[in-house]
Amino acid sequence: MVADDSGSKPVTLTDVARLARVSVPTASRVLNGGVRGKASGTPELRRRVEEAARALGYSVSTAAQAIKDGRARTIALIVSDIDDFGSATVIAGVMHAAEERGLSVAVRTTRDDARRELDLLTKLRGERHRAIVLATSRTTDAEREAVLDEHLRLLQAQGASVVLIGDSDLPYPAVTVDNRGAAARLAVGLVDAGHRSFAVISGPTDQVTSRDRVEGFLEGLAERGITVPDDDVIHAPFSRDGGFEAVQRLGDRVGGFDVIAAMSDAMAVGAIASLRDRGIEVPNGIEVTGFDHVPMLGDVLPRFSTVEIPLEAFGEAALSLALDEAEGDERPTRIALPTETIVKGSVYAG
């Protein structure tokens, strides 16, 4: 233990230049493939610089680059929780799309805490991202959304693109799916498959996605002449535990339904667990349906009904919006991606 202390410094361009016996700018030019016309420098000189860089294990400081040209080669992605069912897929999609464009992704989580969300957006301003992709679920709480809008505006003011994933009333480019229509198709499909009495369990009423799905689902049922009493629409957290809780809240009435329609696959899983607690095994006697299409569920539960949301494709769409890769002059401010309705294993596009 000679206490090296690892007081070692990173290798800088200065080190490379010194070893190659050239000036710092020259080294920079060589390593950047020649900023000027084509490749810069005498072959011999290029060789010296490249070899020095390799020998020292040099890698350019992204911080210095960021400070130089005012922005980092990064985009920020904000999700509520990273280990949500959907989030990981969305993140993967964004990362993939970003990588193709030579950008890195900084993932940040809000844990559905409005306060955290604002602090986060403040910090984000200091990180000089090229774009901010906000993939948290938006609410209908006007005041909260207004404050958020304020922060996003500041981000935009410093030159960052802001893109939303999911529905909201905020005035930014957004990638969405037609939750309402998809939910309606699911409802119709379930009725056509022979089901008649439904309980609906979903997330908080002030959450835009949750609201749209419930409304769409009820509309779909209405289309087939079926109405669901308010008491049979339960709102709980939009999560596995929320699904568990929602079924508990249905109490003894649970026996009376053909279907418990959860407005997310996570809630569906919680619902199934809760039913088992009461001694009811799905799908014997009662069926649970979901929304989102977590692939694993389809593998494990035969003939599970749900709606497939193209979570991975969100990333590509969001980045093309964010980086202003619009075709025409009028920038499209909203991309609606298609969903697929899966009823008992049969797929209906839409």
Partner DNA sequence: ACGTCACTGGAGAACGTTTGCCAACACTGT
Partner DNA sequence: ACAGTGTTGGCAAACGTTCTCCAGTGACGT
Q: How far is the CA of 336 from the CAs of 207, 218, 220, 317, in angstroms?
A: 19, 22, 20, 9
| 127 touches its own copies by CB under 8 A | yes
Instruction: Select the residue interacting with its own copies from 21, 47, 123, 196 (CB under 8 A).
Output: 123
**Taking CB under 8 A as the criterion, which residues in 292-311 touch its own copies?**
294-297, 299-302
The residue (of 185 and 305) whose beta carbon lies closer to its own copies is 305
Distance CA 16, CA 14 (A): 5
Amino acid identity at 250: L
From the list DNA, its own copies, none, pick the one residue 83 interacts with, judged by a Cβ distance below 5 to 8 Å according to partner type: its own copies
Cβ at position 323, least distance to DNA in Å: 19
**CB–CB of 238/203 below 8 Å?**
yes
| 281 touches its own copies by CB under 8 A | yes
Distance CA 190, CA 188 (A): 5
CB atoms within 10 A of CB 31: 18
From the list DNA, its own copies, none, pick the one residue 123 interacts with, judged by a Cβ distance below 5 to 8 Å according to partner type: its own copies
Cβ at position 158, least distance to its own copies in Å: 4
Measure CA 261 to chain center: 23
Measure CA 97 to chain center: 13
The residue (of 41 and 290) whose beta carbon lies closer to DNA is 41
Question: In the numeric block, which tokens belong to residue 113?
Answer: 């805490």
- Phi (first) and psi of residue 342, to 5 degrees: -115, 110
Cβ at position 131, least distance to DNA in Å: 19
| 158 touches its own copies by CB under 8 A | yes
Radius of gyration of the chain from its Cα atoms, rounded to whole angstroms: 26
From the list DNA, its own copies, none, pick the one residue 40 interacts with, judged by a Cβ distance below 5 to 8 Å according to partner type: DNA
| 205 touches its own copies by CB under 8 A | no
**CB–CB of 289/261 below 8 Å?**
yes
Helices 240-250 and 265-277 cross at an angle (nearest 10°) of 50
Q: Which segments within 5-101 are labelled E, that is strand?
A: 74-79
From the list DNA, its own copies, none, pick the one residue 42 interacts with, judged by a Cβ distance below 5 to 8 Å according to partner type: DNA
Instruction: Select the residue interacting with its own copies from 240, 263, 305, 307 (CB under 8 A).
Output: 240
Binding site for DNA (CB under 7 A): 9-10, 12-14, 22-26, 28-29, 31-32, 35-37, 40-42, 45, 58, 60-61, 64-65, 67-70, 126
| 59 touches its own copies by CB under 8 A | yes
| 80 touches its own copies by CB under 8 A | no
**CB–CB of 88/311 below 8 Å?**
no
Cβ at position 85, least distance to DNA in Å: 38
Q: In 78-111, which positions are buried (b, 16+ CB within 10 angstroms) versus exposed (e)? A: bbbeeebbbbebbbebbbebbeeeebebbbbbbe
Selection from 146, 139, 145, 126 nearest residue 76 by Cα: 126
Contact segment (CB under 8 A) with its own copies among 132-140, 180-188, 229-237, 267-275 equals 267-275
From the list DNA, its own copies, none, pick the one residue 32 interacts with, judged by a Cβ distance below 5 to 8 Å according to partner type: DNA
Instruction: Select the residue interacting with its own copies from 37, 43, 70, 229 (CB under 8 A).
Output: 70
Amino acid identity at 350: G
The contact set with its own copies (CB under 8 A) reads 1, 6-11, 57, 59-64, 66-67, 70, 72, 81-83, 85, 87-89, 91-92, 95, 104-109, 122-128, 154, 156-159, 240, 269-270, 272-273, 276, 281, 294-297, 299-302, 329
